Structure 1
Amino acid sequence: MTDNRVCVGALAGSFGVRGEVRLKSFCAEPEAIADYGPLWTEAGDRSITVSITQAIKTGFAARVSGIETKEQADTLKGVRLYADRDALPVLPDDEYYHADLIGLEVRDTGGALLGRVKAVLNHGATDLLEITGPGIAEPVLLPFTMAAVPTVDLTSGRIVADPPDGLFPEG
């Protein structure tokens, strides 16, 4: 996927027997996913228009362009959907798209390299940066808070972290 697109959701198979799909939105305002279209598959080879039909327990039921049957909807299970970055809202200075954080170098306040952001996770309380790198046997989960991550510099591709004592292996 190019840097010009951001993952905004995923399809989770069929909903009912008339070609609707289950749609999981990764957007801050979940229903806004339908406003960022057309959406693209990860390979970028297929454009998809999404129309939400109803909210359901696991996200939304939706109509997808070109899908008319349950069998066609089932073939889309697991397909991640990407929006053109230009279609997304501009964020305030202290907010970031997860896609922009992945791959950034992480250094401590003294400038020592801690690793790189492999993923951004959220299990309910706050976002966590999954950090991997040399000397780290198991990925480290760094809370993405102002206290633990005082600086994010997208221009230089760097995060400055002030992790809690003992979070990273002594190097």
Structure 2
Amino acid sequence: MANEQKAKLILLGEITGVHGIRGDLMVRSYTDPLDAIATYGPLLDGMGNKKLSLTVHRVTDKGIVARVEGIKDRTAAEGLRGTKLYVERSQLPEASASEFYHADLIGLKALNPDGSALGEIVSMQNFGGGDLLELKPASGAPSEFIPFETQWVPTIDLEQRTAVIIIPTTTGNDENDEGEVDASSDDEN
């Protein structure tokens, strides 16, 4: 599949395992609510070729128990393990003014507040503490993660494909992790 076509696909979930002997599957869903993954119609595999019609049976702590149309037994279901489930970007509802799809942010040109080039947003990650933009600096320096919060990313312009980013600074003082200036050395005696 061409990169242009692949860029239009949005990952909604992944088949992580098999449940029982009748072909039910365990699915990790990235939708909210989790069972909304089945509301987008047939889902596509990573190549954009295979269409999978998903029916959710129930939501569990380990994921969604679902069935794919045409899969009748455990052996057939095993063949789908690891399949990533995509939908075309055009099938998603428009995000509100203060919300963004991660896929829409990847590839944005990152700018300093003065408008000078900073680099490019190459991924979005969440390691449990909130969303982080991965910034690949134009200087060629190693990528760095920027908290996806208004104080660090005050402006996003999807039409211009730009994001203004304020790089957090640190003082080397672990107790001062918000980039504040360490004033302890300025104490008067």
Output the TM-score relative to the length of structure 1.
Answer: 0.88
Query: How far is 1:94 from its partner?
Result: 1.1
Alignment counterpart, residue 148 of structure 1, candidates 148, 152, 155: 152
Give the Cα separation in 2 of the matches to 1:122 and 1:38.
27
Query: How far is 1:85 from its partner?
Result: 2.7
Q: Which residue is 1:124 aligned to?
A: 128
Q: Aligned residues, how many?
A: 166
Return 32-41 or 125-134, whichever deviates more: 125-134
Paired residues of 1:36 and 1:84 also in contact (CA < 8 A): no
Query: How far is 1:134 from its partner?
Result: 4.1
Tell whether 2:93 aligns with 1:89: yes
Paired residues of 2:34 and 2:59 also in contact (CA < 8 A): no
Give the Cα separation in 2 of the matches to 1:108 and 1:80.
36
Distance 1:137 1:72, change over 3 A: farther
Of structures 1 and 2, the one with the larger relative CO (CA 8 A, separation 6+) is: 1
Q: Which residue is 1:65 aligned to?
A: 69
What code does the residue aligned with 2:144 have? V
Paired residues of 2:117 and 2:138 also in contact (CA < 8 A): no
Distance 1:138 1:17, change over 3 A: farther
Alignment counterpart, residue 22 of structure 1, candidates 19, 23, 26: 26
What code does the residue aligned with 1:53 have? H
Tell whether 2:84 aligns with 1:80: yes
Q: Which residue is 2:173 aligned to?
A: none
What code does the residue aligned with 1:102 have? I
Query: How far is 1:37 from its partner?
Result: 1.4
Alignment of 1:102-141 (within 5 A): 102-141=106-145
Alignment counterpart, residue 32 of structure 1, candidates 12, 33, 36: 36
What code does the residue aligned with 1:107 have? L
Return 147-156 or 128-137, whichever deviates more: 128-137
Query: How far is 1:56 from its partner?
Result: 2.1
Q: Which residue is 2:9 aligned to?
A: 5
Unmatched 5+ stretches in structure 2: 171-189
What code does the residue aligned with 1:99 have? A
Tell whether 2:164 aligns with 1:157: no
Q: Larger strand proportion, structure 1 or 2?
A: 1
What code does the residue aligned with 1:157 have? R
Return 73-82 or 141-150, whichever deviates more: 73-82
Give the Cα separation in 2 of the matches to 1:156 and 1:25.
31
Unmatched 5+ stretches in structure 1: 167-171
Output the TM-score relative to the length of structure 2.
Answer: 0.80
What code does the residue aligned with 1:81 have? L
